[in-house]
Chains A and B, each alone.
Chain A
Amino acid sequence: MHSKRKVIDGTLKGMTIGAALTTASALFIVFYFVFTTGFSLLSFDLLVTDYNSVQYNAVLETPNQTMEFEKPEVIDSPFSYKYGIALEDSRNKDGESIISIAYVDDNSPLKTLLDKESGEPIEATKNNVITRISYEASPTSLTREGAASMAERLDSDTTIREIIFIEPGGGIRGSIIATLYLIGLTLVMALPLGIFSAIYLNEFAKDTRLTRTIRSFIDTLTGIPSIVYGLMAVSVFIPITARMNVADGLSIYAGAMTMAVILLPILIRTTEESLAAVPNEYREASLALGANDVQTTFKVVLPNALAGLLTATFLSIGRIIGESAALIFVMGTAVKDSVDPANGATTLAVHIWTLMSTEPANVELASTIAVIILTIVLILNTTVKLLAKKFDKIGNR
């Protein structure tokens, strides 16, 4: 009897501990994968570069070079003796073949190029990507022909017209700016609406059927999947912004309105809680001193609920950063480099979606963005918890 009990007990307890372990490891798996896959691309550059690639058209400062260079021992990529550069075949992060510069001699004419359009100097350095080299006397040298061919052609035809470089892009500056715009616009719309609603419900509303109905209607908003909010936004907010002549079609304005509605229930609930936590003595004292109820609310109760309001704000910011489904419908999935609130754009989360929906999926860049998102979420969460502790202390005085 006892040993059988022990076996059952042991198994059950083992399963319990196993479950807890699985849950804990889930967190580590997520963070581990995201950070290891995404860390390599993480750089300050990524945050400030454009997403689209940019072409630079360069010409030689003094054409018809007749210099001779020596190939250094260590280089075994195809080498141009006339121009002192070594080229190699490689792949960019989308898996496409490219030709990049493996080595540039210090005296190479490629260090003193000029931008064809602006006349500014351009200096070719290691790892720059050369796409095409155009000649007067022979066909253009293409990437598809390979680094060896491009290097040979450099030495055989001196009539170079242009050297075309591509700077790969892949930066997320546009998405970061769009996210910031969205957060700002959403808070501007959601905070007043949410706080005022909470004030009404907690401070002024009496327990009538109307109040109960209002409350239950607001509560049911949490049960709606965010994708349905996206659908609503397309049929309600986009026509509204068009009618108001603010934006035509996808826009960050419409996105902010959508996020405001999504955040409403949680904003109202958290604000109500923090208002309720302000002791009634404060209100009574204020009224006794002659203030009316509105003055009391705004000058006495609200300031004391500040910690709670901050919590609500941070929670909202976290939610905005993480939202994807609704914004795909209302802000679109086209990554923009110049962000205009009257047009669509991608937030960081939607940018991940765009990267993962193309083929081949760019898992590295998506993970890098995920690293940024997770870090921000981590910071916001910790801040909220610290605020909650402080909030608790005030309440328990």
Chain B
Amino acid sequence: MGRHSGLSLNKPSNTDTNHQRFQKLINTVVKRLVFLSALLSASFIIIVVVFVALAGIEPFISDNEGLGSVSFFGFITRTIWLDGPTFSSNMYGAGYLIINTLYIAFLTLALSLPLGVLTALFIAKIASRKTATVLRSIVELLAAIPSIVYGLVGAGLILPIIYNVALSFGIQTNGGNSTLAAVIVLTFMSIPTLTTVSEVAIRNVNPSLEEASLALGASKTQTHFSVLLPAAKSGIFSAAILAIGRALGEATAISLVAGNALSGPTFSLFNRTATLTTAMLQGMKETTGLDYDIRFSLGIVLIVVILITNFALNTLKKKVGNVHAQ
């Protein structure tokens, strides 16, 4: 039996028993293992970007079995999904998809930001404790609902409503499939994130600010809107960035309500539209050839769009600044 020391040194020494040596071996192995796990986990982001990029670049550099390479500039600027007969043309265009995607995302933000922030304000400041707890649970539940269910409710409930409302105004829609439908569905999906993050931001505002405003004679509502919300600007901005990220990447829910516009861009609320993600899901029939590979190119474009939007919004957030820090 060897000697114990209070701190076990890991290097095997001549005084160790076999048992202790074994222990130390296991120790080293396990430590290596967990380190490798962490390394592997961290490497996935690289794997995703690299492989999607590799597959997505293919259409632009290879000959595509005689069809000729797709022009990159053309791809990001053209406004028709495919110009020419299928399988015989390389004139793919995602330009209009990029515009549509950004348009829908920002429209969604315009609709969901006020709803989310005001709901957060209500929960944080106006509701009684019981109501606040209930509302918070409701919001958590909304966040947990899978996106496909939102798409289902969109297709089954929102589409007929839009169709009928539009018809009574004399506007023809394709069964209700429209930009408006996509925006409504995305709004429903974005509100939970916006509300939760905004609520935290509002709560984190220094209470003395609020007290000072009330002491100066402002009403509660005035305080909320003129002091509290501006103070929580930074947090709310972060919430908006999160929400936009999700809106840009949402696929199945929108594809069930957007229609499938093969050209664009669509700015009218009542016309069919398409986004980068819905285009990726369309025409899943092919598994080889340009028609399938172009999906990966759309993936690259989507990642780039998300990165640029995030970067732009983050820069904007820094500029807007946080006047009343916590």
Interfacial residues, chain A to chain B (CB-CB below 8 A): 5, 8-9, 12-13, 15-20, 22-24, 26-27, 29-30, 33-34, 37, 192-194, 196-197, 199-201, 204-205, 213-215, 217-218, 220-221, 223-229, 231-232, 235-236, 261, 264, 268, 287-288, 290-295, 298, 318, 321-325, 328-329, 333, 349, 352-353, 356-357, 361, 363, 366-367, 370, 373-374, 377-378, 380-381, 385
- Known pairs A23-B195, A217-B42. 4 more at Cβ < 8 A? A192-B37, A199-B34, A227-B280, A235-B55
Q: Is A17 in contact with B295, judged by CB distance below 8 angstroms?
A: no
A12 contacts which chain B residues (CB < 8 A)?
Answer: 221, 224-225
A30–B152 CA distance with the chains assembled, in angstroms: 9
A294 contacts which chain B residues (CB < 8 A)?
Answer: 26-27, 30-31
Q: Is A363 in contact with B155, judged by CB distance below 8 angstroms?
A: yes
B115 contacts which chain A residues (CB < 8 A)?
Answer: 19, 22-23
A-B contact count (CB 8 A): 248
Q: Is B126 in contact with A17, judged by CB distance below 8 angstroms?
A: yes
Q: Is B145 in contact with A377, judged by CB distance below 8 angstroms?
A: yes
Query: Is residue B122 within 8 Å, beta carbon to beta carbon, of the partner chain?
Result: yes
In chain A, what residue has the closest Cβ to B7? A287
User: Which of B67-75, B92-100, B207-215, B296-304 participates in binding chain A?
Assistant: B296-304
User: Which of B81-89, B165-173, B246-254, B264-272 participates in binding chain A?
Assistant: B246-254
Q: Is A17 in contact with B122, judged by CB distance below 8 angstroms?
A: yes
A26–B281 CA distance with the chains assembled, in angstroms: 27
Q: Is A324 in contact with B146, judged by CB distance below 8 angstroms?
A: yes
Q: Which of B18-72 contact A (CB under 8 A)?
A: 23-24, 26-27, 30-31, 33-35, 37-48, 51-52, 54-55
B256 contacts which chain A residues (CB < 8 A)?
Answer: 353, 356-357
Number of residues from B at the complex interface, CB < 8 A = 88
Q: Is A228 in contact with B35, judged by CB distance below 8 angstroms?
A: no
A200 contacts which chain B residues (CB < 8 A)?
Answer: 34-35, 37-38
Query: Is residue B144 within 8 Å, beta carbon to beta carbon, of the partner chain?
Result: yes
Q: Which 9 A-B pairs have the closest CB atoms?
A: A225-B249, A322-B146, A19-B118, A196-B37, A200-B34, A217-B42, A20-B122, A325-B251, A9-B221
Interface string of B112-136 (1 = CB under 8 A from A): 0011111101110011000000010
B50 to chain A, nearest CB (A): 9
Q: Is B151 in contact with A5, judged by CB distance below 8 angstroms?
A: no
A328–B6 CA distance with the chains assembled, in angstroms: 56
Q: Is A325 in contact with B252, judged by CB distance below 8 angstroms?
A: yes
Q: Is A26 in contact with B191, judged by CB distance below 8 angstroms?
A: yes
A29–B40 CA distance with the chains assembled, in angstroms: 42
A367–B224 CA distance with the chains assembled, in angstroms: 41
A137–B237 CA distance with the chains assembled, in angstroms: 79
Query: Is residue B261 within 8 Å, beta carbon to beta carbon, of the partner chain?
Result: no
A92 to chain B, nearest CB (A): 19
Interface string of B225-264 (1 = CB under 8 A from A): 1000000000000000000011011111000100000000
Query: Is residue B156 within 8 Å, beta carbon to beta carbon, of the partner chain?
Result: yes
A12–B279 CA distance with the chains assembled, in angstroms: 40
Query: Is residue B219 within 8 Å, beta carbon to beta carbon, of the partner chain?
Result: yes
Q: Is B123 in contact with A20, judged by CB distance below 8 angstroms?
A: yes
In chain B, what residue has the closest Cβ to A363? B156
Q: Is B44 in contact with A264, judged by CB distance below 8 angstroms?
A: yes
Q: Is A261 in contact with B44, judged by CB distance below 8 angstroms?
A: yes
Interface string of B8-21 (1 = CB under 8 A from A): 10100000000000
